[in-house]
A and B are shown apart, each in its own frame.
Chain A
């Protein structure tokens, strides 16, 4: 068994930004382990632009954004293991990986989990019908097209209006395919408004809200799908069924944080985010193990992933150098209209501002968010609109966190 100060599981945007932040905070023995042949994670296949506006002040494509961070990693003396998959993690921070360099067993002082997420698959959806070729998750189709150059299909239906589905609708149209429909089971889209505009409206691709794919047809290759409207309980309305001929069905039906290692190490998971329960430094309930990026909560923007990873990197460095936060903490709770709040725990009296990240339960017009601990108001924020697809950030000033002992709740009211 070898020893390292900090081991980071995953070399995507979260892992890279965490490594750089930890290094710059004074931990010089940092290792990144990634299962792919190169750093960058999912960004390698996200060839569209729109990354980095918030964080880097310029609009980049996915691979360009990744290369900015890869350069930072390589400028520092950070060890990278590519083609290595972490297969086991224990609560006492022993990391086992295997792959091109054989089997690696590392005793770490701290670990940062940055494994990202994977796509929800068709199996999780139970669509009736046959099992022909031509059904892909949107991200798989994206990888086949953008990295390997395969043409995926000619007539396409997309189920789910998450951002990857919207981006793929445009991508396939540009490559000469006809996208017949995007069906979204919810009465609103899960993607960013800008993607609805520049990926669907620009190309006159119809978006059917409150619609789903009811049946799949075809023997060897997909021949078509039956789509149908759903009622408010998401049950199919029989007399709205109609057939659309297509050779390809893309599924963009949600992302699942990849937390197998986290669970194996006995780290408690939040049932709503499907990621670990963390404090404001992104430390899990197992001291010395941190989590950031999409493995912790599914983000809409890579810029926020990088921000979150820096918190985790700094937090892990403080833990290694001086044991980290040891004071009191309170938990956070989602109140009216709020689906979840992250971090789930906040250390009090640390002298630092704390930002809360949250999502609302459904689309709203103008709202006011109130952050309270019993009767103390800690922060207020007004937004012109709020939607589940867009993460909100509200910051609590350090001095207001000094004498808090009751849970911090966030709720919204329509104004």
Chain B
């Protein structure tokens, strides 16, 4: 089976084709190695980085932005969003502070500094 995939790793957005044969993926059209890796993952185990925000409980109308440190399986995006929605933090928050410890094999961390 041949799959057409647009690489999303960098803004170039190369059009890739991936041929899957018994679990082995053959990639064409990539400009760089990362594209090959992306197409392989996209066929075998597609993942995405999830970014969202968490309410800062001790400040009015204040949100801190967060992200998963590593991409999580694509099929777990909405479950990850549920977990993030349930989280709460108190200011001060610094970039890199861990908000959730274990989310599908990675952490959710803050991406913004919030003063007290």
Which residues of A come within 8 Å of B, CB atoms? Answer: 44, 47-50, 53-54, 59-64, 67, 145-149, 174-175, 192-194, 196-198, 202, 300-301, 390
Give A47 to B52 CA distance when docked, in angstroms.
7
Write the nearest CB–CB distance from A105 to chain B, whole angstroms: 30
Q: Which residues from A are CB-within-8-Å of B48?
A: 198, 202
Give A298 to B7 CA distance when docked, in angstroms.
24
Contact partner of A49 (CB less than 8 A), chosen from B51, B53, B61, is: B51
Are B63 and A149 neighbours in the complex by a CB distance under 8 Å?
yes
Contact partner of A301 (CB less than 8 A), chosen from B11, B61, B112, is: B11
Tell me if B8 is interfacial: C-beta within 8 Å of chain A: yes
Q: Which residues from B are CB-within-8-Å of A196?
A: 6
Are B61 and A148 neighbours in the complex by a CB distance under 8 Å?
yes
Interface residues on B, range: 20 to 34
Q: Which residues from B are CB-within-8-Å of A390?
A: 11
Are B11 and A61 neighbours in the complex by a CB distance under 8 Å?
no
Contact partner of B62 (CB less than 8 A), chosen from A50, A149, A192, A301, is: A149
Contact partner of A47 (CB less than 8 A), chosen from B7, B10, B13, B53, is: B53
Q: Which residues from B are CB-within-8-Å of A60?
A: 111
Q: Which residues from B are CB-within-8-Å of A64?
A: 95, 111-112
Known contacts A148-B61, A149-B62, A149-B63, A193 near B13 by CB under 8 Å:
yes
Contact partner of A53 (CB less than 8 A), chosen from B10, B51, B52, B113, is: B10
Give A127 to B63 CA distance when docked, in angstroms.
34
Are B53 and A146 neighbours in the complex by a CB distance under 8 Å?
yes
Give A192 to B7 CA distance when docked, in angstroms.
11
Q: What 1/0 mask marks residues of chain B from 92 to 116 whose CB sits below 8 Å from any chain A CB?
A: 0001000000000000000111000
17 further A-B contacts with Cβ under 8 Å, apart from A67-B95, A149-B53, A390-B11, are A50-B11, A61-B67, A62-B65, A64-B112, A145-B53, A146-B65, A147-B63, A149-B62, A174-B50, A174-B78, A175-B52, A175-B81, A193-B6, A193-B13, A197-B8, A202-B48, A301-B11
Report the nearest B residue to A47, measured CB to CB.
B65
Contact partner of A54 (CB less than 8 A), chosen from B6, B10, B112, is: B10
Write the nearest CB–CB distance from B99 to chain A, whole angstroms: 13
Q: Which residues from A are CB-within-8-Å of B112?
A: 44, 47, 63-64, 67
Write the nearest CB–CB distance from A156 to chain B, whole angstroms: 17
Report the nearest B residue to A197, measured CB to CB.
B6
3 closest A-B pairs by beta carbon, nearest first, are: A193-B13, A47-B65, A63-B112
Tell me if B74 is interfacial: C-beta within 8 Å of chain A: yes
Report the nearest A residue to B14, measured CB to CB.
A384
Q: Which residues from A are CB-within-8-Å of B51?
A: 47-49, 61
Write the nearest CB–CB distance from A367 to chain B, whole angstroms: 15
Are A61 and B53 neighbours in the complex by a CB distance under 8 Å?
no
Tell me if B36 is interfacial: C-beta within 8 Å of chain A: no
Are B8 and A194 neighbours in the complex by a CB distance under 8 Å?
yes
Give A147 to B10 CA distance when docked, in angstroms.
26
The CB with the most chain A CB atoms within 10 A, among B7, B8, B11, B77, is that of B11
Q: Which residues from B are CB-within-8-Å of A301?
A: 11
13 A/B residue pairs, CB under 8 Å, sorted by A: A47-B51, A47-B65, A47-B67, A47-B112, A49-B51, A53-B11, A63-B111, A67-B112, A149-B63, A192-B11, A193-B6, A194-B11, A300-B11
